[in-house]
Structure 1
Amino acid sequence: MQPLGSKENTLFRSVVKFYESKQYKKGLKAAEQILRKHPNHGDTQAMKALILNSQGHPEEAFALAKVALKNDMKSHVCWHVYGILWRSAKNYEEAIKAYKFALRIEPDSQNILRDLALLQMQMRDYQGYIQSRQLMMKARPQLRQNWTALAVSHHLAGDLKAAEQILVTYENTLKSPPPKTDIEHSEAVLYKNTIIAELGETERALKHLNSIKKNNLDRTAVLEYRANYLLDLDRKEEAEKAYRVLIERNNEYRAYYEGLEKALGLERSNEADIEKLRALYDSFAEKNTRLDSARRIPLDFLQGDAFKSAADEYLQRMFKKGVPSTFPNIKALYAVPAKRETIESLVLSYTSEKKMNGSTNGEVNGDDSDRFDQSVLYFLAQHYNYHLSRHTEKAMEYIDRLLELNPKSVDYHQTKARIWKHIGNTKKASEAISHARELDEKDRYINTKCAKYQLRNNENENALTTMSKFTRNDTVGGPLGDLHDMQCMWFLTEDGDAYVRQCDYGLALKRFHSIADIFEVWYEDQFDFHSFSIRKGQIRAYVDMIRWEDHLRDHPFFTRAAISAVKIYLKLADNPELSNPNAKTLENLDPTERKKAQKKAKREQEKREKEEADKKAAAAKKATASSGDSEVKKEDPDPKGLQLAQTKEPLEASLKFLAPLLEFSPKNIEAQNLGFEVHLRRKKYLLALKCLLAAAAIDPDHPKLHEQIVRFRQAANGLSEIPPQVDAVIKSDFTLIPADANLKSYNTEWQTKHSESSPHLQSAYHIQYLLGEISKSQAESELQRLLDSSSISIEDALRGLDYLDEWKSDRQTKDAYQEKGAAKWPESTAFQKQ
C-alpha cells in the first residue's frame, strides 16, 4: 500500500464519493490532482480507471487498471477495481478471479465478499456461493438477510435440510417474536414452509403452516398451500372446505375449481360423477348471476344432449349480453369434433327467423335483439375463420353482413383483416386492418395489430410509422430506437421476418440479434436482484426468478428468432453473394449486367461507409464535448447489419443462436434439423449425428429428417480421413439406415409409404435428384405437378420454391412455378411477384 499525505487522503476519499454519486468530471479532476504529486499511486489509478469505464472508455480503463496493478500488486482496491471492470465487460470468470485475489489481501472486506457472492450466484456456482455467504453470515450474524441468503444458497444447491436448519437456527436466536407487520419475517417463515414441502414432508409442512397462518401477511398463499397440503394428505373433507374458501375469494380462478373436484373425489372421466359435477357447478352459478366460470367449465366434461343443453344456455346468455369474447372463450372445445359440430348447429339455428327476432322464451326484443343478432353473426364469422372449422368464404359472408349492420365497428374490420390473412392475401389484410385503426386512432391494441399486418405485407416503413403514434419519437434512434429500448420483441421479430422475405439479410440479422441481445439483458438484469431480493426479504419470488432464468432461452420469441437467424446464416454459407442487400434485384440480371451492378453497388457502399464514418466521428466528438457527467450512449457501428451479413464465417456466427436453441429447446425438431445442417457443413460429424438422432426421436417420419438421414449415410460412406474414434461412433450409433442399404431403394420405399403427403413427396424428389436418379428438369417438373394435388397447402407449395432455390433453378422455372401457384390460389399474395 502506497502511503498518501493527509491532503491527498482527503482527495482520494472525495474521488470515491464522486464516483459513487456519478460526478465523473469532478472525480477525474480530483484523481489528477493526486496523480500529479503521486504519479504511481495504484489505488488512485484504479479509481480513475473505474471513472473512465463509466464514461464509456473501457479500453483506456483496462490499460490504466493494469498499470495500477503493476504499481501496487498488493492493493485490494486495485484487484477489486479490476474485478469490477471485468464484471462490466460481462467476463464473470475473470471478475471472480480478481475478487478472490482482492479477498486474499483483505479477507474481512464485506464489499469484496458481497461482490464475489453476487457473481457466484450469477454464474450458478452454488458451492462457492455457500462459502461466501457463510463468511458474510459469520461476520454479521445479527442481520437476518445473511442467514436467509445462506439458506437460499443451500436450497438452490439441492441441500434442503441444511437450508431449513439454517432458518430454524436463526429463529432460535430471536429473543422476542418479530412484530406482526414484519414483512421479512412473514416471507421467511413461508419460505421455510415451502422447503419443508419440497422435502416431501407434507404433514409437517401443514402443521408448520397452521402455526404461522394467523400472523402471516400473505393470506392467499397460506390458504393455497393449506388446500394443496390437505389434498395431498387425502384429507378430503378439510380440503373441500379450504377450496370453497378460496373460491369465495376468487370465484373465476379455474385451479380452485379443479382442486375442489379432486377434494370431492369427482372425476370427469367417470360417467357416474358427471351429474354430481354438474350439480356442483349449478350451485355456484345460482349464487352469482354474473359468474362465468361455473357456467363455462361444465362444457368441458359434459357430453351428448347434456352438453347441447348447457352449450345452448351458455351461448344464448353470452349473445344476449353481446360479449365479444364468446368465441375465444369456447374455442378450446373445438378439439372435440362432436362438440364443434354441436356448437355450429346451435349457433346456426339462432340465425333462423324465430331466433333472430327473439328467443324461444321471447326474452330478446328491441335493442337486445339487434345485439343478439350481431353477436351470433360475429361468432359465426370467427367460427368459420378458425383453423379447425375453416371455411373462409362463409366467414367473409358473415363479416360482410355485420359490416352492413355496423360499418364503424373496429372489431368487425379487424376480424375481416384476419380472414384475409388466412386466405393468404396480406395486401387486403393490411388494408382492412388499417381501416380499422383509422376508426379508433387512440386504441393502442388495434394500432399494434395494424403494424403487425403491415409487416406481414412487407411494409416495414409504414409499420414503423404506425408504431410511432404510440412511441417516444424524440429518443435516440427515433421510433425504432424506442421500440428497442422498450424491448418490443414481437415487432423486431416480425420486422426481421419481413426483411427475410425481401432478401435483405443484413437488416433481418440486425433484428434477430436485437432479440438475442434482449434475452442477454434479461439474463444480466437478474444480477441486481441477487442482493435486492434478499435485502427486501422477497425470497419465494427470488427463487422462482432464478429457476425461470435458468430456462430463459426456451422462450418462443427466442426460439423463433434463433431459427430464422440460423436459416439466414446457412444461406450465406452456401451463397455468400446473398450478403449484398440488392441480391434479389441482381438475381434477375444476366451475368454480365450482374457483374457491373455488383461493382457499382460496392463503390456506392464504400462511399456510404465513408460518409457514415465521418458522421459518427463528428457525433462522437460532439458527444465527448457535451457529455459531462451523463452516461454516453453507444453509437451503432452497423445500423443496417451489413457487417453481420458479410461475416467471413457465417457457420460460426450461427452458433450464437444454435447453441442455446439446442440446449433449451431440444424437442423442437426444426432446431435439430438446423443443427444437423450447420454441423454437417462444419464437418462436425458427431454433433450432426447427435442432432439427427434427436430429430428421429421426436418425429421419425419427418420429411426433412428423411433427407438428412440419406445425406448423412451418403457422407458417412464417403468419409475417409476422419479419426478412428469418430468413425467407430458413427458405425455403432447411426443405425437409422443400414450402412450397406441401397439409398435409391430406401427412398422409393419411403416415397411409396407417404404417397399422399405433399411435403414427403417433395423430400423424395429432392433425394432422387441428389442421388442422380432423376435430372434437375425432371425434379422441377415433379415439384410443379404437385401443385395439382388437392391436399397441398400454401405452406407446402411455398416450400417448393425453397427447393428450386436449393437446386439453383433458372428464373423461368421459378416464374412458371409461381404462376401455377398464383392460378391455384388467386386471392393469395404469396405467389405474386414482388
Structure 2
Amino acid sequence: MPQPLSTREANLFRQVIRNYEDKQYKRGLKAAEQILKKTPRHGDTMAMKALILNAQGKTDEAFALGKEALTVDMRSHICWHVYGLLYRTHKNFEEAIKAYKFALRLEPESPQIQRDLAILQIQMRDYQGYVQSRHAMLQAKPQLRQSWTGLAIAHHLAGELQEAENILTTYQDTLKNAPSKTDLENSEAVMYRNMIIAETGDTQRALEHLESDAKDNLDRLAVMERRAEYLSKLGRKDEAATAYRALLDRNSEHPQYYYDLIKALGIEEDAKAKKAIFDEYADKYARCDAARRIPLDFLSGDEFREAARRYLTLMLNKAVPSTFANLKHLYSDSFKKETLPALAEAYLESEDGKKVQGKAAALYFLAQHYNYHLSRDLTKAMEYCEKAIELEPKSVDFAMTKARIYKHHGNVKKASEAMDYARSLDIKDRYINSKAAKYQLRNNENEKALKTMGLFTRADTVGGPLVDLLDMQCVWFLTEDGEAHARRGNTGLALKRFHQIWNIFDIWQEDQFDFHSFSLRKGLIRAYVDMIRWEDRLREHPFYSRAALDAVKLYVSMYDASGAGLANGVNGSASGAAADGGADVAAEKKAAKKAKKEAQKAEREAAEKAAKQDPNKAAAAQKGKGEEPAAKKDDDPEGKKLAQTKDPLDDVMKFLTPLLQFSPKNIEAQFAGFEVFLRRRKYVLALGCLNAAHALDAEHPKVHLHALRLRHALDAETLGGLPAPVQAVIKADFAAAAPPPGADLKKANDAFRAAHGASAPHVLAAAQAARALGEDKAACERAAAGALEVEGVTLEEALEAYEVLKGWKSGELEAFRTAAGGKWPGATVFA
C-alpha cells in the first residue's frame, strides 16, 4: 500500500508537478527528495522523480525508478501514466499505449492521459483506437470545436468519410449563431468538409457545398482552384474555362492553370488553338515567362524555331542565367536539341549578340549545351566557357560551369579547385559556398569541406561546424561526407554519417508529436492531414534512398571482407570485396589510421575554439525560468563501435527494410536487397527482389548477373535440401528471370555476352557472372577490362569496370588505368 502524505508533503507534491511543468527540474528534484525522505514508499512522488530524471537525460535511472514506483502503488494512475511516458521515451510505443490504457481505467476522466493516448495512437496509425479516444474526448468537452474536428479527422483517416462529414455537419448545426466571416477556424473547417465530400467522389455535391457554404471563405485561392477543378470534372467546359482564366489572371506564371484550361477547352491535340491561348496571355502580360516558354514543349518545325528564337533572344538580352535550365528538357527531341544551339550561334552573329551582356549570356548557354549529357562535347564546352569568362571574369555562374566541365572530364581535383575559386568570387553566397564544399567532398577533402561549410555555420557552436550541421539536419552534406569517408577506407566515420541520416529521418517521424495537438488548436486541418499522409511516405525520399543504398553497400563489403561471403560462395563478383581472400587489410588500416588522426586533430581544434569562447555566454543561456535537459553524450563519435559489428547483415536491415518498403520501384534498392538476402541465404526474398527488378527493367545487365548468381547458389545449395514451400515458390517464380534448374549457366552467359557485345555495362555483367560461376580468373579479368573497348563507352561505365577490377585486385588494373587515362586525358578518377 502507498504511504499517505501529510498536508505539508501534499503541498510539496503539488510543487513538484508545477516545477516539472515549468521545467524547473532541479527544484522539482529537491522537493521530491524532501517528500521521499519522510515517505520513501510514496509511488506518485517516485514516479514524478522518475519523470524529472528522464527530462534531465537520465533515462535508464528514470526507467528503473518508474518500475519501482509501480511496484509500490499499482493502483496509481500517475504511476501508470509516467510509466507510459518513459516507454514513449524509449520509443516502445506499443507498451506506452498499454500503460496509458491502464492509467485511463484508473482515472477515466483525466484529459491529459486521454490526450497522450490519442496522440500516440495517431502516431502509430491506430486509427480505430484513435476514433475511440477522440469520441471520449468529445464527450468530455463537447463545447470545443477542436473536439469535433479531432473526431472528424479520426474518421477521415480511418477511411470513414461519411462519418467524418456527419461529425462536421452535426457541430455546424449545433451553433446558435453563425460564425463571423473573419473566423479563420470556421473558414478552414468549411474547406475541410468540402475536401471530404470531394474524396467521396460526389463532385456535384462538393461543387454545391463550395458555392453555398464557401462563397465567402477566407482562402479565396483554394475556393477558386477547387471550383475550377469540380467544373472540369463535371464536364461543364465553358464554366471551367472561365474559372481557370480567373486563376490565370491571378497568377499567369502557374503552368498547371494553362494545362487545365487547355483540357477544359478540349484542345489538347490542337497545337494551333493551344498556341493562341498562350499568345493571348503573352500579349496580356508583357513580363509573363510561362506563356512564352510552355509553347516550346508542343510546337514543332518552323513554328518551334521562330518561337524559340523569340524566347531565346528575349532571355539572352536580359542575360537570364537559368535560360538553359528552363530549356534543357526539350533535348529529348533531337530536332529541338539541334535547333536551340543553332539559334544561340545565330544570336552571337546578330546585332544583339555583339553587346557584352548578351554575348556573354549566349556563350554561357552554349557552354551549358555542350556540357549537358545529351549533347556532350566537353572540349567545345570549355571553349565557350572560357570565352564567357573573358567577357565577365567575375561571374560566379560562369566559374561554376567551368568546375562542372572539369567534373564531367573526371578531374575531381581541378573541379574542386575551380568551384572553390567560384566561391571566392562571392563569399556572401551560401549556395556557392555549399557547392564548393560538395566538390571538395567529391575530391575526398573532408576536413577542407567542413571548414568551408563552417564559414556559414554558427561561430559559437560548441563542437564546431559539424555539430551545427547535424543540428540543422544538413542531409546532403552528411551523405557526401559519408561517401567520401567510405572511399577513403574510413568505415567507422562513413557508417556514423549514414546512421546520423537515419536518425534525422527518425526525428522527422517523431516531430509529428508536436503537430497532433498544435494543428487542432490552430485549426490548420487540411495542412495537418497532408502532413500525416506525407509522413506515411517519408522514407521514400531520394535523400533516404541514397544514404540507405550507401549503407547497404558498405555493410555488404564489410561482410565480404570478413571472409564469410566467400565461404558462403555467394559474393561472387558482385562487390568484388573479398574475391581474393578479403580486402587489403594493410591499406585499410593505413587509411583508417590517417582518418583517425585527422578526426582527432579536428576535435582538438573544436575544443580549443570552444575554450576560447566567452564563458559568460553559456551561463547566460542557462538563465531564465526553465532548464534544458542535459545533452546526451555521443559515446561513439568516430563510429568505431559501428565498424566493429559482428553481424553486418543484421545491422543493414535497419536501412534495407524501409528502402524496400517505400521505394519498391527503385531498381537499385531491389539489387541491394538481393545482395543482402543472397548472403543471408534467404532465397525466396532474394528471388522476390530479383523478380521486382526484372519487372522494372528486364534488360538491365544486373538482372542477368544476379539471376545466374542465384541459380548458381541454389545449385550449390541443392534445391532439394530446402523446405518444400521454398522449393515450390522458387520453381514457380524463377522461370522469367533465369535458366531452369540444371541448365548450362556458362552457355547462357556466353549467349548473353554475344547478344549484348555493343553495351559496356552488359559486357561487364557477363564478365562478373563468369567470375561468379567459377570460370578462369584471368579470362574474366580480360573480359571485364574489355568493356573499355566497347564503342561509345562512357566515363561512368569505365569507372564501374575499374572499380570491379580494383575489387578483384586484377593484374589488368594497371593496363586498364593507362588505357582509360588515354581515353579521358585529365581524368583523375582512375588514380
- Tell me if both proteins adopt one fold, taking TM over 0.5 as the criterion: yes
Whole-angstrom CA distance in 2 between matches of 1:347 and 1:424: 27
1:274-289 correspondence to structure 2 within 5 Å: 274-289=271-286
Q: Distance in 1 between matches of 2:406 and 2:525?
A: 49
Q: Per the alignment, do residues 749 and 596 of structure 1 end up closer, same or farther by CA in structure 2, a change over 3 Å counting?
A: closer
Asked whether the equivalents of residues 533 and 542 of structure 1 are also in contact (C-alpha less than 8 Å), the reply is yes
Contact 1:473 1:482 in 2 (8 A): no
Q: How far did residue 605 of structure 1 move?
A: 8.8
User: Which letter does structure 1 place at the counterpart of 2:650?
Assistant: E
How far 1:567 moved relative to its partner? 0.2
1:472-496 CA distance string (max 9 Å, x none): 1321321011011101111111111
Match of 1:305 in 2: 302
Aligned position for 2:629? 631
Q: Is 1:496 matched up with 2:482?
A: yes
The CA distance in 2 between the partners of 1:596 and 1:529, in whole Å, is 50
- Pair 1:826 & 2:807 matched: no
> Which residue in the other structure is 2:740 paired with?
738
Asked if 1:466 corresponds to 2:468, the answer is: no
Count of residues in correspondence between the two structures: 795
1:84 is aligned with what amino acid?
L
CA distance in structure 2 between the aligned counterparts of 1:212 and 1:134, rounded to whole angstroms: 26
Q: Distance in 1 between matches of 2:422 and 2:67?
A: 61
**What is the one-letter code of the residue matched to 1:6?**
T
Tell me the equivalent position of 1:183. 184
2:182 and 2:41 map into 1 onto residues whose CA distance is 54
Contact kept, 8 Å, 1:472 with 1:479, in 2: the verdict is: yes
Deviations 1:487-514 (A, max 9, x none): 1111111111111221212111111111
- Specify the SS of the correspondent of 1:640: coil
Secondary structure of the residue aligned to 2:455 is: helix
Are 2:382 and 1:396 equivalent residues in the alignment?
yes
- Out of 692, 709, 729, the residue aligned to residue 711 of structure 1 is 709
**What is aligned with 1:566?**
552
- The Cα of 1:562 is off from its aligned counterpart by 0.3
Residue 208 of structure 1: aligned partner: 209
Compared CA separation, residues 506 and 629, structure 1 to 2 (3 A): same
Change (3 A) 1:197 1:594: closer
Q: CA deviation at 1:577?
A: 9.0
Contact kept, 8 Å, 1:430 with 1:453, in 2: the verdict is yes
Q: Counterparts of 1:151 and 1:596 in 2: how far apart (Å)?
A: 62
Coordinate RMSD, CA, aligned:
2.7
Contact 1:686–1:730 (Cα < 8 Å) also in 2? yes
**Whole-angstrom CA distance in 1 between matches of 2:286 and 2:667:** 47
**TM-score where L is the length of structure 1:** 0.91
Matches for 1:109-148 after TM superposition, within 5 Å: 109-148=110-149
Render the CA deviation track for 1:149-205: whole Å, top value 9, x for unaligned: 111111111110111011111111111111112111110110000100011111110
Question: Superposed, which structure 2 residues align to 1:440-589 within 5 Å?
Answer: 440-576=426-562
Pick closer, same or farther for the CA change 1:512–1:61 going to 2, 3 Å. same
Q: How far 1:769 sits from its partner (Å)?
A: 2.6
Equivalent residue number for residue 582 of structure 1: none
In the aligned structure 2, how far is the partner of 1:382 from the partner of 1:334?
12
Q: Does the 8 Å contact 2:187/2:218 carry over to 1?
A: yes
Write the distance in 2 (CA, Å) between the matches of 1:435 and 1:700.
45
The amino acid across from 1:200 in the alignment is: G
User: Displacement of 1:601 after TM fit?
Assistant: 8.9
Q: 2:572: which partner in 1?
A: none
Residue identity in the other structure for 1:713 = R
Counterpart CA distance in 2 for 1:431 and 1:374 is 23
**2:109 match:** 108
**2:177 maps to amino acid:** S
Distance 1:74 1:171, change over 3 A: same
Aligned-pair identity in percent equals: 57
The secondary structure found in structure 2 opposite 1:470 is coil
Match of 1:682 among 674, 680, 684: 680
Matches for 1:209-288 after TM superposition, within 5 Å: 209-267=210-268, 270=269, 273-288=270-285
Instruction: Please state how far the C-alpha of 1:388 moved relative to its aligned partner.
Output: 1.1
The correspondence for 2:316, drawn from 301, 316, 319, is 319
Distance 1:188 1:179 in 2: 13
| Shift, 1:770, TM fit | 2.8
Partner of 2:407: 421
Q: Residue 765 of structure 1 aligns with which residue?
A: 767
Letter in 2 for 1:474: D
State the AA in 2 paired with 1:831: F
Q: Distance in 1 between matches of 2:649 and 2:402?
A: 42
Residues in 2 aligned to 1:594 and 1:253: alpha-carbon distance in whole angstroms:
58
- Change in Cα spacing, 1:599 to 1:509, as seen in structure 2 (3 Å) is closer
Indicate the SS of the match to 1:351.
helix
**Cα 1:300–1:553, aligned 2, differ >3 Å: closer, same or farther?**
same
The residue type paired with residue 29 of structure 1 is K
CA 1:601 to 1:333, structure 2 compared with 1: closer, same or farther past 3 Å? closer
Structure 1 distance, partners of 2:97, 2:647, is 32
TM superposition shift of 1:823 = 2.4
Kept in 2, the 8 Å contact 1:2–1:72? The answer is: no
**Which digits, 9 at most, give the CA deviation of each residue in 1:399-433, with x for residues without a partner?**
11111112111111111111111111111111111
Q: Does the 8 A contact of 2:361 with 2:388 survive in 1?
A: no
Q: For the residues of structure 2 that align with 1:437 and 1:469, how far apart are their CA atoms?
A: 11
The Cα shift of 1:299 comes to 0.9
> 1:724 is matched with which residue?
724
- Tell me which residue corresponds to 1:39: 40
- 1:767 to partner: Cα distance: 2.0
What amino acid maps onto 1:107 in structure 2?
P
Superposition deviation, residue 668 in structure 1 = 1.0
User: Match for 2:557: what amino acid?
Assistant: K
TM-score by length of 2: 0.92
Give ranges in structure 1 of 5+ residues lacking alignment: 579-585
Give the deviation of 1:806 after TM superposition: 4.5
Q: CA deviation at 1:747?
A: 1.0
In 2, Cα distance between the equivalents of 1:699 and 1:159?
A: 38
1:734 aligned partner, one-letter code: F
Q: 1:54 to 1:209 in 2, by over 3 A?
A: same
* Cα distance in 2 for residues equivalent to 1:630 and 1:200: 49
Distance in 2 between the 1:150 and 1:24 partners?
A: 35
CA distance in 1: counterparts of 2:377 and 2:591, whole angstroms? 50
Q: Please show how residues 74-89 of structure 1 align to structure 2 within 5 Å.
A: 74-89=75-90
Amino acid at match of 2:828: T
Structure 2 unaligned residues grouped into runs of 5+: 565-576
Instruction: String of CA shifts for 1:286-341, please: whole Å, max 9, x gaps.
Output: 12221111111111111111111111111111111221211111111111111111
Distance 1:792 1:225, change over 3 A: same
Aligned to 2:348: 351
Cα 1:602–1:223, aligned 2, differ >3 Å: closer, same or farther?
closer
Residue of structure 2 in register with 1:817 after alignment: 816
Aligned pairs for 1:575-654 within 5 A: 575-576=561-562, 629-654=627-652
How far apart are the structure 2 equivalents of 1:172 and 1:189? Answer: 13
Indicate conservation of the 8 Å contact 1:12/1:30, yes or no: yes
Rounded to whole Å, the distance in 2 between the matches of 1:279 and 1:594 is 69
Q: Which has the higher contact order (CA 8 A, sep 6+)?
A: 2
Deviates more, 1:508-517 or 1:552-561: 508-517
Deviation sequence 1:546-576 (CA, Å, 0-9, x none): 0000000000000000001000000000003
CA separation of 1:475 and 1:597: change in aligned 2, threshold 3 A: closer
Contact 2:190/2:214 (CA < 8 Å) preserved in 1? no
- 2:471 partner amino acid: D
Residues 83 and 95 in structure 1, CA contact (< 8 A), matched pair in contact too: yes
What is the CA distance between 1:597 and its match in structure 2?
10
SS at match of 1:826: coil
| Change beyond 3 A, Cα 1:466–1:514 | same
Q: Distance in 2 between matches of 1:767 and 1:512?
A: 30
Quote how far apart the aligned CAs of 1:2 are.
4.4
